[in-house]
């Protein structure tokens, strides 16, 4: 399902509109989508618009002509639904400012006095050396707890956060899954405010939940094209420091699942349209069961088999 030639031959804007147009054009040529009876269909573009969570009372569906990359849910074929999330709208656990992680930990009711300990254990897990910080943890601390030592490298998946000493006990919190769901390891320090989740915006403690909700309602109507539009709602503090941008990055998390959300799988796609002799994207990461932080291989196999049998139509 190639993109139009212009996407390969020229540098094109990576604005939401240009990417959406390119993807839409590519999908419109896909054999599996043209032939609606083809069981390998990715998803049903014709019937999906009305089921989008962004449907409005006026019946105006012009917005639905583009596939949004802000995690909006779309109805697929049969019992499947899907979401596309630009990863620059999520929080990158490896590189995000530590104040952002602190804000997230506060949402999990971590007491103020324990915040730095969590941050230091995270830093020790990632950094190359074996020198532990105050309240941090390196290999000897992990051995004491009969845990595998820290990898001393960036996390490879958001779920790896469970392997950091002490962090697993947070998994009992009712908001834990939402917290992990909002993390990525393929993001950027600069957040795309057009695709940022509510949780990501809340991690900026200068912004109130009320203003964020107002902003998201405004954004659902039409993408923000100038920072001034965002600042009019969120205030000027948003613009300081250059931590925000208006366009997507290269990586997109695709979530496909059943309508009752009991079955869910995720892919991380990196768009690579300008790389020679390469497909327009590559899959960086696949998680057959993001709802569970740790499942056995057997459980994974059963899950995948179940997904196959219930015919969630993805990659045949």
Q: Is the Cβ of residue 143 or residue 301 nearer to Ca ion in the bound state?
A: 143
Q: Is the Cβ of residue 124 or residue 181 nearer to Ca ion in the bound state?
A: 124
Stretch that binds Ca ion, among 56-64, 69-77, 145-153, 160-168 (CB under 5 A): 145-153
Tokens encoding 72: 């909006």
Question: With binding defined as CB under 5 A, does residue 124 bind Ca ion?
Answer: yes
Q: Is the Cβ of residue 119 or residue 254 nearer to Ca ion in the bound state?
A: 119
Q: Is the Cβ of residue 73 or residue 163 nearer to Ca ion in the bound state?
A: 163
Stretch that binds Ca ion, among 74-82, 117-125, 263-271, 275-283 (CB under 5 A): 117-125
Report the candidate in 309, 303, 271, 306 with the shortest Cα–Cα distance to residue 287. Answer: 303
Question: With binding defined as CB under 5 A, does residue 135 bind Ca ion?
Answer: no
Shortest separation between residue 136's beta carbon and Ca ion, angstroms: 8
Shortest separation between residue 132's beta carbon and Ca ion, angstroms: 7
Q: Are β-strands 80-86 and 70-75 bridged in parallel, bridged antiparallel, or unpaired?
A: antiparallel
- Report the residue count for the chain: 316
Shortest separation between residue 167's beta carbon and Ca ion, angstroms: 15
State which of positions 92-111 bind Ca ion (CB under 5 A). none
Shortest separation between residue 119's beta carbon and Ca ion, angstroms: 14
State which of positions 286-315 bind Ca ion (CB under 5 A). none
State which of positions 44-83 bind Ca ion (CB under 5 A). none
Q: Is the Cβ of residue 103 or residue 137 nearer to Ca ion in the bound state?
A: 137
Q: Is the Cβ of residue 70 or residue 124 nearer to Ca ion in the bound state?
A: 124
Question: How big is the site for Ca ion, counted in residues (CB under 5 A)?
Answer: 3
Question: With binding defined as CB under 5 A, does residue 127 bind Ca ion?
Answer: yes
Shortest separation between residue 60's beta carbon and Ca ion, angstroms: 53
Question: With binding defined as CB under 5 A, does residue 152 bind Ca ion?
Answer: yes
CA–centroid distance for 117 within its chain:
26
Shortest separation between residue 131's beta carbon and Ca ion, angstroms: 7
Q: Is the Cβ of residue 154 or residue 291 nearer to Ca ion in the bound state?
A: 154
Tokens encoding 74: 């779309």
Stretch that binds Ca ion, among 123-131, 208-216, 271-279, 298-306 (CB under 5 A): 123-131
Question: With binding defined as CB under 5 A, does residue 154 bind Ca ion?
Answer: no
Stretch that binds Ca ion, among 146-154, 161-169, 226-234, 241-249 (CB under 5 A): 146-154
Report the candidate in 14, 199, 245, 172 with the shortest Cα–Cα distance to residue 91. Answer: 199
- The three state secondary structure string of the chain is CCCCCHHHHCCCCCCHHHHHHHHHHHHHHCHHHHCCCCCCCCCCHHHHHHHCCCCCCCCCCHHHHCCCCEEEEEECCCCEEEEEEEHHHCEECCCCCHHHHHHHHHHCCCCHHHHHHHHHHHHHHHCCCCCCCCCCCCHHHHHHCCCCCCCCCCCCCHHHHHHCCCHHHHHHCCCHHHHHHCEECCCCCCEECCCCCHHHHHCCCCCCHHHHHHHHHHHHHCCCCCHHHHHHHHCHHHHHHHCEECCCCCEEEEEEEECCCCCEEEEEEEECCCCCCCCCEEEEEEECCCCCCCCCHHHHHHHHHHHHHCCCCCCC
Shortest separation between residue 165's beta carbon and Ca ion, angstroms: 11
| Binding site residues, Ca ion, CB under 5 A | 124, 127, 152
């Amino acid at each position: 399902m190639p993109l139009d030639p212009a996407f390969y031959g020229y540098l094109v804007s990576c604005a939401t509109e240009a990417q959406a147009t390119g993807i839409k054009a590519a999908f419109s040529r896909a054999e599996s989508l043209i032939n609606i009876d083809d069981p390998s269909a990715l998803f049903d573009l014709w019937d999906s618009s009305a089921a989008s969570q962004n449907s409005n009372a006026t019946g105006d569906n012009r917005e639905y002509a583009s596939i949004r990359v802000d995690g909006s849910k779309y109805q697929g074929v049969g019992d499947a639904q899907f979401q596309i999330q630009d990863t620059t709208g999520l929080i990158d656990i490896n590189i995000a400012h530590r104040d952002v992680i602190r804000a997230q930990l506060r949402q999990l009711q971590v007491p103020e006095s324990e915040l730095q300990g969590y941050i230091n254990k995270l830093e020790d897990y990632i950094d190359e050396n074996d020198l532990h910080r105050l309240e941090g943890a390196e290999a000897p601390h992990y051995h004491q707890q009969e845990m595998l030592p820290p990898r001393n490298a960036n996390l490879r998946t958001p779920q790896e956060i469970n392997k950091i000493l002490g962090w697993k006990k947070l998994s009992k919190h009712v908001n834990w899954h939402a917290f992990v769901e909002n993390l990525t390891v393929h993001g950027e320090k600069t957040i795309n405010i057009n695709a940022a989740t509510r949780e990501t915006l809340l991690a900026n403690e200068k912004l109130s939940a009320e203003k964020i909700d107002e902003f998201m309602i405004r954004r659902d109507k039409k993408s923000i094209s100038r920072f001034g539009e965002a600042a009019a709602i969120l205030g000027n503090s948003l613009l300081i420091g250059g931590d925000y941008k208006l366009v997507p990055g290269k990586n997109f998390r695709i979530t496909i699942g059943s309508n009752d959300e009991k079955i869910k799988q995720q892919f991380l796609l990196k768009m690579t349209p300008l790389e020679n002799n390469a497909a327009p994207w590559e899959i960086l990461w696949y998680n057959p069961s993001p709802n569970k932080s740790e499942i056995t291989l057997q459980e994974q196999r059963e899950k995948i088999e179940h997904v196959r049998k219930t015919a969630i139509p993805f990659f045949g």
